[in-house]
Amino acid sequence: MSTLSSVINRFVEYYAGLDNQPPSALTTLYHPDAQLIDPFGEHRGLVAIQRYFTRLLVNVQHCRFSIDVPVCEGERYAVSWTMHWSHPRISAGKALALGGCSMVEVQDNLIIRQRDYYDAGEMIYEHLPLLSWAIRGVKRRVRS
């Protein structure tokens, strides 16, 4: 198994059961100097990434990813995924799904840089009563 295959397998296993993973498990996936960027911010270093995941998952009822086959080149891969999640304060806790993708760079058999792309509006804002009305209105106007 190649180094990249090993990292991809660990990535898939970790995110497939994200809500059951302790922050300490990130040490087997991310480089100490890793950078994680998503629509909500940039997190530099393993400690910052662990802190971010801890805050994200504290009130989540469940959060798991189904991950498609990655596209690989050298020490990089791109993967599309669907996040299946629920939070008691968003959409009354009902199960939600969100599509996205990650661009990942590997160094020393660990992730050194990950950039996640997804629609933060679709993830959160469209499920909040007042904001959802405004966002749906904007989307209708753009489609017209």
DSSP structural state of residue 59: S
HSE (CB half, 13 Å, CA atoms) of 111?
28
User: What pTM does this model have?
Assistant: 0.86
Residue 53 lies in a domain: yes
Residue 34 lies in a domain: yes
Range of the domain at 110: 3-119
Place of tokens 């498609």: 68
Residue 17 reports pLDDT greater than 80 = yes
Please give the Cα distance from 118 to 29 (Å, whole number). Answer: 21
**Mean pLDDT, the chain, whole residue set:** 90
Please give the Cα distance from 140 to 144 (Å, whole number). Answer: 6
Residue 128 lies in a domain: no
Could you read off the pLDDT of 86-124 as tens digits, one per residue?
Answer: 989 888 889 999 999 999 999 999 999 999 999 887 776
Query: How many domains is the chain built from?
Result: 1
CATH label of the domain that carries residue 112: 3.10.450.50
Closest of 83, 81, 39, 35 to residue 57, by C-alpha: 83
Residue 12 lies in a domain: yes
